[in-house]
Structure 1
């Protein structure tokens, strides 16, 4: 008997708390109708929205709020009939206030049954006039204007007593959090928080903030009955009685996990875009600097041969000239490396000797690794050649070494090995060269291994990595017809292996070998006078007569005269027409006239590829000789 009394008392208290909640709502008109539609209760929201005091409307038919034409059309009766037959009526339409003004209302009428018998209706009305006039605003905030009582499922709407005990529960709470009213009423609301948040005292702080300031709002993780997590938007309003004393809290929770996921994805895309834009800007800057630097090297290279001739048999002078020549060659190599690392080199697969390649870039690699990391290179003596783009290969190797370096913040040894291997199973079968980069660093967690080749994925702090390094390695290996593997163990290190298909050896001409001695007249088109002078010296040493034009327009005028046997033009020049445009104009007007292009700007090579032969600046005498010899005579 005592248990029954306690249960009834709890039910009465729960109903009283809920009535207080309804009475305290001012944004909604919430009131009861008897089965005939006569108003039997009236809340503060109804008084504010419609302008009537309770004594003015209780006992009158709710049709009084409709427009005259709607009453004549039988809309009030239709609304009750729909609610009676279907359990609920919901609509939007114009309603009339006490002062005769109209407002656009969102209306819900729920049929109330007791023991299967209709005892009346619960009616909720909200003024949504502004939303009706601004559909965009309505769409943006539609969730806030849904009903918060009855059959609302998008929101968990419930009351807490002053200590945080749940005193009532709606369908939305059951759907979102998984608890039935019997399971949750009487329990503390902190059970919806994670263990860590409970230990940190977040539930108590939320109630205290709402008590002190009237409202508490936040977003955070919450826990469902089944233990799963969801990202919640939470509002807690302090509810006070007429005497100002705190009697509890109204709490509204919404699951916004999908919205948060979309926001996180958007932020990720924005970061990726920013990284791409930074890389593109770096590439453009580097390309421009490389063009100017290659022109400077061209001036040095062109005059080296004059210095050699002037030095004669003077051994001391020859050593000095050779030192200058080696420095210019190293400068050209460094420029190519800059273009490679800035991703401004075009893909141009050629056979390369791995032993020579690794040792040629050793100095750059050592510099990039820093003083704490030692580089050890072990290449088998009989390693096969591979056919790859040298620039892409260098970039892939540098990316692997940078990752190895970063895995050993305290320093250590990075080992690069290259050897032959044969793969007999899997998608890629045959002879391959395996290039391994091994470190003794911290290793990679198993759950991260599968993501390391994804573009923009990085575990490094913001600003310390783009997340593009290993994705470039992966793309390079597969583009070359090979693959890449990764083996890692936490605390012991990581080994990344690139497998590249076995290539064929090609016999290249000797570096200093001149293909032939030239004859005839060359029209040299170059906008930099110093570069033009250096290039003319080389052409004259090969036996050519030289005419100089500073731009494309001057070159076309020069070609109106006879006596030009071939045109040698820079691609990137000032003026309305660049070298590529000049070459195409010559091809149209003088189809039999050979054209050789030169550039120190790698992107120009890509745009001209396949149309005309191209010589990269800075070029040596033997390279110029070979390129000119390959041109068909006029």
Structure 2
């Protein structure tokens, strides 16, 4: 922001004929006013700016000139600016007798005329008067800037506090509101919002109180301060808080109410909830007090129940932490088990007939396998279990479970099944789907304590476009419906959250629907729930249709259980950053008759692949520092296209973003020597088949 010029004020002079310019500049110099002389009209216009104090110009310089540029500059001045012009006219050429001079007044606006020849005192007096007027304009500029800055600060403060500004003109009840204020009353920034609109959107029960408060402020001058409910156009109820003060004009007349507004819906709801909780607690306290004399055992039972609930909550929190840590635990634990199992398997081959050593090794192997089983259970809890996915006939699965379901739900429950004659197989883990169906049936039974009917249905549905979690495609939907007490909207939304349960203490973990939801996501399907209070609940498990049939899948599995030894000795590049695991795996491979070259990083492996030596197969760990196994696979494909690759990982699932379309086999840790040999034979068979086809 420019300051007010003082001794540095500059006058611009344009007098192209005679000595007028020289005389004017000399006189200004003598009284300490700086000036600049413009040789022509173009230079004069170019020299004009907001910090010029005044302009001196001769009438004849403007008489035949195009004044468009000067007129445009004058019109473009800021609102605070009105540059003074001093016009030097010829004798008798003042505006009273000279129409041309009068025209200049219309164009230049702020004009003073001096007839030549002029006296020095007159010229200096007019120049100083123009300078004083210009300084008053600069002072106005500073005041306007200060007001603008204050306005910006006020607006920033209002926005930071999420406050809406408003004014009410008392004479004509004209309401002016900010965009934030309109939003508080459920209106858009561009919507009209009158004082009548404001009154109409106040809740009918609060409207009279609001109008009485306005009236009291008008009469007594007391500050307007109120909280009331508002009803938006969509019918929803909110809370608003308004504060205002009475504004008076210079004569003391009451003219306006100026104030702010805020949305306090969240605060009011929190206070209501706290108030309700306090009332409940007060009632509870009063009820323990009443029964204390004759039912002390009831009090102790309630305390015990609370302690059990707190203990269950602590256990749930512990299990949640375990669930968050299982991914890393599984990887590290599986790596340790990998080394233990591999070395024990090899050791068993070298103990010969030493029965005691064989017994000790077998015991150690059983312990290591139990550790691997524990890891799988942790992964199942965290919804990261390694599923055995294949084509599953859901019709056969549901009909085969009918006896088990009837025994599980009891004699007061009737199970109806609606299964079509022909449905395509789905891509799923049969064991996990059976557990999911059993869990849904038990939930349905618990929702009908007085008995009822559970309806189990299968149906094929075509998903045309992507919706929610489901991609477009064909799905088989397994649905379980009951006629129980049902759930409200809020309970239904929480139903798949871990540890959430509507059952009483000790009759549910709150993990059933959460695990089924996790299973659905792993299968690239979905779990959909619909419920109505008093009418029942319907659960739908959507499972994608398999691209292969059940028979061919079973044939492949049986073939892999008795693999044909077709691989023969191979030269294998083994990549693992863990030296212990690399040594164990290398020993198993050598024991199988293969030649092994070890690399302990992706960079080292790429060095081997880029050299002169050739390899029949690369086995790499997934999780390695610097370069992951997946990154190594992509780089290796560029160096050696078609190289068979086996990716080993201790994770149940590879992280998102790993492209499984790179034609690589996967081997989960910990693996046995037999599993390792099986995967090598499978890769060899696949490579041979592709080569023969080509």
Larger Rg: 2
Per the normalisation by structure 2, the TM-score is 0.45
